[in-house]
Amino acid sequence: MTNTKILIVEDHRDVRDLLRDVLANDYQVVEAVDGVSALAKFNTEAPDLIILDLMLPQVTGESVLKTIRKTSAVPVLVLTAIQDKQKVVALLEEGANDYLTKPFDIDELLARVQVQLRQRTKPLNEQNKLTYGAIVLNPSDHQVVINGQKLPLPKKEFAILQLLLAHPKQVFTKENLYETVWGEPYLNAENTLNVHISNLRNKVNDLAGTPNKYIISIWGIGVRLV
C-alpha cells in the first residue's frame, strides 16, 4: 500500500465498488459521486490521479475536467461509454491524459493507472505539506505554522488558506473560492466570504509580522497570494 491517492468520480454504485476494490490494494482511494463533490474532494484530498466518469448527474465530467485543469496538471483518466468515442479526441485535447471505454478490462485499467503515475516524478519525501513564504500548512494534522508560531484556524478559514496555498499566485474569483470551499453555489454569499477572508488575513498578517499582505484582493477579479 503506497501513499498514492486516487480519486474515483463515478455515480454508478456498482462501477464505483468495482474500482475501489481493484485499486484499494495498491492505493489510497477516495470517492465522489457527482461533479460538485468531485471538485470539493479534489481540493481537499489533493489526489495523485483522478478516474473520472464522463456521465455524471448535473455537472458533467467534461466541466469537472475543465475546472480541474485551470489549476492542476494532475493525471485524469476518463471513463466513457463506447458510443462516446467521438468525444474522446476532444477530451484528450482538453486535458484528459487517457481514457477507457466501459466495460473496461481490469488489468488494462491498472496498467494505465500505473503508466500515468509513473510519469509523475513527485518527490515523496515532503508529504503534502504546503509552503508559501513564511507560511507552512499541513493538511494531515490540520495545522498552520507561520514564522515558527502555531496559528490555530477554524475549518473554513483553514480551507480557504489551503486552497490558496495549493495554487500559489493563481487568482481565485470569489465564486470559485466559495464554491470549492463551501461546496455549494455562490448565491449572494459574497459577504460571508469577505468576512472570512478578512479574518483570515488579519490572523496571517499578525503572525507574518512584516507588512506583507499575503492575501491580497485583485479588485473586481478575486483574491490571490503574493
Partner DNA sequence: GCAGGTTATGATTAATTTATCAATTAAATC
Partner DNA sequence: GATTTAATTGATAAATTAATCATAACCTGC
Show the binding pattern over residues 138-157: x = contacts DNA (CB under 7 A), - = does not.
--------------x-xxxx
Q: How far apart are CA 95 and CA 77, in angstroms?
A: 10
Q: Cell numbers of 48, please?
A: 495523485
Q: Is 96 in the site for a copy of itself (CB under 8 A)?
A: yes
Q: Which of 12, 138, 222, 224 binds DNA (CB under 7 A)?
A: 222
CB 16 within 8 A of CB 31: yes
Could you give the angle at which helices 35-45 and 174-182 cross, rounded to 10 degrees? Answer: 90
Q: How far apart are CA 169 and CA 222, in angstroms?
A: 11
Q: Is 224 in the site for DNA (CB under 7 A)?
A: no
Per the DSSP assignment, residues forming a β-bridge with 136 are: 131, 145
Q: Is 83 in the site for a copy of itself (CB under 8 A)?
A: no
Provide the binding-site residues for a copy of itself, judged by CB under 8 A: 69-73, 88-89, 92-93, 96-98, 105, 107-108, 110-112, 114-115, 119, 123-125, 140-143, 154-155, 167, 169-171, 218-222, 224
Residues in touch with DNA (CB under 7 A)? 152, 154-157, 174, 182, 189-192, 194-199, 201-202, 217-222
